[in-house]
Structure 1
Amino acid sequence: MADIEKIVKRQKAYFKSGATGSTAARKAMLGALKKNIREMEYDILEALRKDLGKSASEGYMSEVGMVLEEISYMQKHVQSLAREKRVRTPLVQFHSRSYVKPCPYGTVLIMSPWNYPFLLTMAPLVDALAAGNTAVLKPGNASANTSRIMAELIAKTFPPELVTVVEGGREANSQLLEEKFDYIFFTGGKTVGRLVMEKAAKHLTPVSLELGGKSPCIVDETANLPLAAKRLVFGKFLNLGQTCVAPDYLLVHRSVKEELLFYIEDAICSQFGQMPLNNPDYGNIINEKHFQRLLGLIEGENARIGGGYDDSRRIEPTVLTDVTMESPVMQEEIFGPILPVLEFDTIGEAMETIEMHPTPLALYLFTRRKSVKDRVTAEIAFGGGCINDTIIHLASTQMGFGGVGESGMGAYHGKTGFDTFTHYKSLVDKKTWIDLPFRYGPYAEWKTKVVRAFIK
């Protein structure tokens, strides 16, 4: 076990030295990281294959490529993001210069999960470095091969006083959460998320929590059904459904249910083959515990499509029909290749079903009607989502990604990620050649009149 207290002290001292302050230094850090990711790309993709069965194409598209894109964005924009921004000074403050100064928090802790182990560790790290922080990384223990290769990557790229990877399980998590960090960024489940928030409260440490939840997908009777099925299958079964923003359950208008199921089955065959378990690019469930949990959710249900599995912790893309709100599969976030299907007659009925669950991280809506788009996106609380597609909203550096309510707090990616790891100091530089007297006591009627003239 690493000496965590020593690691944190060393990083805090390094931050105070000012080594991360200049944008030139930050660009150099990002450039070194990009260079070494490219040099180690094969090893990273192989680690993802060993942990989750991801093909090289899927590993690059959903993890490595997205990290490289985040680095490219920060390399291009860090100069302007880190610049002081002058703002208007009220007349009552005459004569002054008012401005906002972006400042890094200091030493941050980034805790990531096992399902997208490279992306969900390195993307927040890129944002933290661009903002000028030092960082301790704690990747998920279940994805041990990727954790190991990230530790090698970080050791090759940065001195430990700038970035350090701490490997391990619950004991390492517990020790890290006892330390006083300047910011904590956590991606994972709600149970650990609550613990992180509780521990952070002891030190009054600000946190971002990227959690999950039962993200719904609505398909109404006006939707382009073949395209909806194709995009739904992609988003649901990517990484075998082990995606925090995967469509968790399907709400389909009763009149188009059978037609949509036909297209879903066709899309599954098209994307994964007639026998997905024989497809070498089809991944696996992370470990035996989650594998058995998912099999338990299928047991006793009507598997309209799929339902098969093998000894390599692989489960076919599975679609369950005749599901009710009381079914076990509707009681928890699935996090696997199982899609329960519920029907609705009116969009209001579908919205009521969604609101029976805690606030979801994502929502997906397939419709051609503007009135439905406007109503659903305005009236239902959710972190983010897509209209007529799935999951792609998280792949943009132009807008933030994050949850709300029980699906999390805070956001990152692009400028929003820089903002997350930055404290913005509001400053007034008051000139000394004039000093307006009406703010000082003793107060008199004329002073009050002047104040009322300026402040109203």
Structure 2
Amino acid sequence: MRELEDGLAELRQTFKSGRTRNAAWRKNQLRALIQLIHDKEDKIFEALLQDLGKHPVESYRDEIGIIEKSAVNALNCLEKWMAPKKSRLPLLFFPAKGEVMSEPLGVVLIFASWNFPISLALDPVIGAIAAGNTVVLKPSEQAPECALFLAEFVPLYLDCKAIKVIGGGADVGEQLLQQKWDKIFFTGSPRVGRVVMSAAAKHLTPVTLELGGKCPVIVDTLSSPSDIKVTVKRVIGGKWGPCSGQACIGVDYVLVEEKFAPTVIDLLKKTIKKFYGDNPKDSKNICRIVNKHHFGRLHKLLKDPLVAASIIHGGSLDEEKLIIEPTILLNPPLDAEIMTEEIFGPLLPIITLNNIQESIEFINSRPKPLTIYAFTKDETLQRQIVSETSSGSVTFNDTMVQFACDELPFGGVGQSGFGRYHGKYSFDTFSHEKAILQRSFFPELEPRYPPWNDFKLKFIRFGYKYDYFNLLLLLMGLKK
């Protein structure tokens, strides 16, 4: 605890010195971060392979490439983001000028998740650095090799008096939450998110919670065979492609009309075989379950007899290798745990409906998801999904790609979290937008002061409704 407090004192002193407010410092740190992932790419590949069994292509796509893109974007846009924004003021305040200036919050704490242990650690750090903060990064102990990599190499490349990596388990996390922070950014489960939020409330610390939820896919009836094939590939990519389904924005379940379900299921089975071979448990293209605890949790979902009876593809498990093959379930009981809790694994329930319009009511009957995916060419259905449901985001005719768009905010709503980041939104998340108003000493509008009378009431009433010219006419008696 003493070492932790000394480290925080150093971070506070660094922030107090003003060094991190300088654009040159921020750019140097971003360049150093880019250099780090370039120099140590092979070590990152190896750490991700050890922790999660990720293939290097998947590791680059979902981890290294994401960080490089994000850091380069922040580096290129930093001066624009930092520049004060002019504000248009009412003529009543003339002569005056207003602007909004983004200033760093201070010392921020970032909790990373284990499923994308590099990108979900360093992507928020990029926003915090770009905004001029000092940072404590707490990697997930459930991805130990990646946590070790971050603890070893981040201090060698970045300013170690401003950015610190603190490893350890839940006990260290609890100690960190006892401290006073200027911002906490957490990625993880709703259960731990509640703990974080409760601890933050003691100091009125602002928080961003990036949680999860049961992200649905709506598959409308598609007439074109090529569209159906693309849909199925993208559903598979969004379910088993990201860390074997262990992703907060991964596909959780599919909603499809009963008459169209056989076509989708048949193509799912064929494409799974094409992607992962006859024996997916031996494939190098699918990640393993992170640990025995999560493997046991997923196994428990399948042990429910009614759920087991709904399995129409896959279902085999290898506890020694921590592998569960891609598994499809058709209409499991809606009150079973697999349909009430986030799956976070390679199990895909397919729920059939009489009419695809029923998907909106189905989604609305459950907690708000982090994202909704919908494959449809029906513009009316698209408008209904956007206007009649609530989710962190909506993506039409694809899965997962919204995460890689720096121009779009990423975040949840309701139980799926709150706050947003990526690109400029990350900068804003770790900044305070300070309003600055500067006025002249002349003219002085006396009606704003007592003693009050009817004229002053009329003047103030006009002041809220009309522009400065009309106020002058009123003051000169030329307007009633």
Paired residues of 1:91 and 1:454 also in contact (CA < 8 A): no
Which digits, 9 at most, give the CA deviation of each residue in 1:166-224, with x for residues without a partner? 11111111110011100000000011100111111110000000000111111121363
Q: Distance in 2 between matches of 1:396 and 1:280?
A: 28
Within the alignment, does 1:306 sit opposite 2:314 as a pair?
yes
Aligned residue number for residue 140 of structure 2: 140
Q: Distance in 2 between matches of 1:33 and 1:342?
A: 44
Picking from 322, 340, 344, the partner of 2:349 is 340
Q: Distance in 1 between matches of 2:343 and 2:356?
A: 24
Paired residues of 1:2 and 1:166 also in contact (CA < 8 A): no
Amino acid at match of 2:336: S
Amino acid at match of 1:314: I
Structure 1 residue 225 displacement after superposition: 1.9
Q: Distance in 1 between matches of 2:378 and 2:336?
A: 31
Ranges in structure 2 where 5+ consecutive residues have no aligned partner: 466-480
Picking from 396, 401, 413, the partner of 2:405 is 396
Aligned residue number for residue 317 of structure 1: 326
Structure 1 residue 282 displacement after superposition: 2.2
TM-score by length of 2: 0.92
Q: Distance in 1 between matches of 2:363 and 2:333?
A: 13
Aligned residue number for residue 289 of structure 1: 293
- Taking the TM superposition and a 5 Å limit, the aligned residue runs for 1:170-249 are 170-222=170-222, 224-238=227-241, 239-249=243-253
Aligned residue number for residue 472 of structure 2: none
Q: Distance in 2 between matches of 1:97 and 1:292?
A: 62
More displaced, 366-375 or 291-300? 291-300
Aligned residue number for residue 463 of structure 2: 454
- Taking the TM superposition and a 5 Å limit, the aligned residue runs for 1:38-117 are 38-117=38-117
Structure 1 residue 346 displacement after superposition: 1.8
TM-score by length of 1: 0.97
Within the alignment, does 1:273 sit opposite 2:277 as a pair?
yes
Q: Secondary structure at the match of 1:411?
A: coil
Paired residues of 1:217 and 1:251 also in contact (CA < 8 A): yes
Structure 1 residue 159 displacement after superposition: 3.1
Amino acid at match of 2:316: G
Structure 1 residue 385 displacement after superposition: 3.0
Paired residues of 1:294 and 1:334 also in contact (CA < 8 A): yes
Total equivalences in the alignment: 456
| Aligned residues with identical type, % of pairs | 38
Structure 1 residue 2 displacement after superposition: 7.2
Q: Distance in 1 between matches of 2:80 and 2:245?
A: 38
More displaced, 182-191 or 435-444? 435-444
Q: Distance in 2 between matches of 1:406 and 1:278?
A: 36
Q: Distance in 2 between matches of 1:159 and 1:88?
A: 39
Structure 1 residue 22 displacement after superposition: 1.7
Aligned residue number for residue 469 of structure 2: none
Q: Distance in 1 between matches of 2:139 and 2:268?
A: 35
Aligned residue number for residue 162 of structure 1: 162
Amino acid at match of 2:265: L
More displaced, 423-432 or 2-11? 2-11
Within the alignment, does 1:407 sit opposite 2:416 as a pair?
yes
Which digits, 9 at most, give the CA deviation of each residue in 1:235-265, with x for residues without a partner? 1002110010111111111111001001111
Q: CA RMSD in A?
A: 1.4
Amino acid at match of 2:315: G
Which digits, 9 at most, give the CA deviation of each residue in 1:262-297, with x for residues without a partner? 111111112212221222232210000111111221
Q: Distance in 2 between matches of 1:355 and 1:451?
A: 46
Within the alignment, does 1:418 sit opposite 2:422 as a pair?
no
Structure 1 residue 433 displacement after superposition: 4.5
